[in-house]
Amino acid sequence: MTDDRFHKCPQRRFRFADVSKPKFGEQQEAFQQSASSDQALFQLRAPLAVQVQELDASLSAQPAEVVMKVMAMESPVPETILVAAQAWLAGDQAAVEMIRNMQLQGCTILQSGGRMVIFTLTEDRTVPLMEAMLEAFFLEREVGRLESELAANWSRWDDDIPMSFQFGERQLGSRAQLVENHNSVRRFRSRLERLSSAIHAPHVYPPTYASQASERYRERAQLVHRHEVLNEQLQPFAELYESCAQRTSDYMIARTGHQLEWAIIILLVIQVVFSTFDILTSLETSDTTTPATVNQPIEIDSP
């Protein structure tokens, strides 16, 4: 047996489509065209609302989330096949990444980056094993994305710490950016909690071959630990923006109240000025107006 057998094994390409997001216009048309040529295999457990679709191998222009080779082979796997599989896994990586290797009851699973190889004993194990590994791969990919996003936004969120203590007129220019950062933390927390039920799900009982492989993969990827660390790292920023939101809201309410008070004061001053002007005008009119005296001769009637 040579490594030609591995190279002749067809590749299967998959992607993950979020079916919870509505699509409009050109996106809806493109989605319908791709859906007609792609096959929906199954949907991940709630509340993920993610559908696994198998891409048509002839449409190479469409991006694939994960490329997989599944082979039914005796155990242990020959060395030449393993070497060929490792070379194929490292073929699409710009940088050298670790190749995860798992052994489970005659099954060998290799994974690196966006590629995965499954060697199983019998064909009847292929479908449930493939579905379980795709779900586990999706969870690890999402956790990795959240880790990268948190690392990229850490310094940007860290710059808003002073505004949790004081918010005034000088900080009004950065209010729009503060709102965007607050919303980004909220969206981050929502995505993190959405993965929680799947990552912290208890082991399946009675266990199945596919469930054991998925659980072993998650243990190797340390998904539970990484999810808890992300939650702990996000907690200070969630508290930070809760404080910023409260201080910003209090300042804007007080600022609006002060503006109304000044508007009332200005109206009262204007009313007093007009009233004073009317009083002064009436006094000047009374001072300049004097009663007229008429000298008329007195006539006396003689008898």
**Whether 237 and 177 share a structural domain:** yes
β-bridge partners, 107: 104
Do the domain assignments include residue 268?
A: no
Q: How far is it, in rounded angstroms, from Cα 145 to Cα 151?
A: 10
Do the domain assignments include residue 251?
A: yes
Do the domain assignments include residue 9?
A: yes
pLDDT in tens, 48-91: 878 888 887 666 645 567 888 888 887 788 888 888 888 888 87
Amino acid 148: pLDDT? 92
Q: Which domain holds residue 228?
A: 126-256
Position 41 pLDDT exceeds 80: no
Q: How far is it, in rounded angstroms, from Cα 111 to Cα 89?
A: 7
DSSP string covering 180-232, please?
HHHHHHHHHHHHHHHHHHHHTPPPPSS--HHHHHHHHHHHHHTHHHHHHHHHH
pLDDT in tens, 160-190: 777 776 676 666 667 777 888 888 889 999 9
Do the domain assignments include residue 133?
A: yes
Q: What are phi and psi of 92, to 5 degrees?
A: -100, 10
Position 245 pLDDT exceeds 90: no
Name the nearest CA neighbour of 182 among 234, 233, 219.
234
Helix (H, G, I), strand (E, B) or coil at 102: strand
Position 31 pLDDT exceeds 70: no
**Whether 134 and 116 share a structural domain:** no
242 compared with 167, residue with greater pLDDT = 242
Domain end, chosen from 57, 90, 121, is at: 121
Do the domain assignments include residue 140?
A: yes
Q: How far is it, in rounded angstroms, from Cα 227 to Cα 2?
A: 42
Domain end, chosen from 69, 101, 121, is at: 121
**Whether 66 and 136 share a structural domain:** no
Question: 37: pLDDT confidence band, cut at 50, 70 and 90?
Answer: very low
Pairing relation of β-strands 12-18 and 50-54?
A: antiparallel
**Whether 132 and 247 share a structural domain:** yes
Which of 25-39, 115-129, 205-219, 264-278 comes out lowest in average pLDDT? 25-39
- In the chain, which ranges are continuous DSSP H helix? 4-8, 25-37, 79-89, 126-158, 175-199, 209-221, 223-288
Mean pLDDT computed over every residue of the chain: 79
Position 21 pLDDT exceeds 80: no
**Whether 115 and 131 share a structural domain:** no
**Whether 114 and 229 share a structural domain:** no
Do the domain assignments include residue 284?
A: no
Q: How far is it, in rounded angstroms, from Cα 157 to Cα 150?
A: 9
Do the domain assignments include residue 292?
A: no
Do the domain assignments include residue 285?
A: no
State both tokens at 223: 């998904």
225 compared with 49, residue with greater pLDDT = 225
Place of tokens 């509340």: 47
Domain count for the chain, please give it.
2
pLDDT in tens, 137-148: 999 999 999 999
**Whether 131 and 243 share a structural domain:** yes
β-bridge partners, 17: 51
Percent of the chain with pLDDT over 70: 78
Position 248 pLDDT exceeds 70: yes
**Whether 208 and 160 share a structural domain:** yes
Place of tokens 């950065």: 174
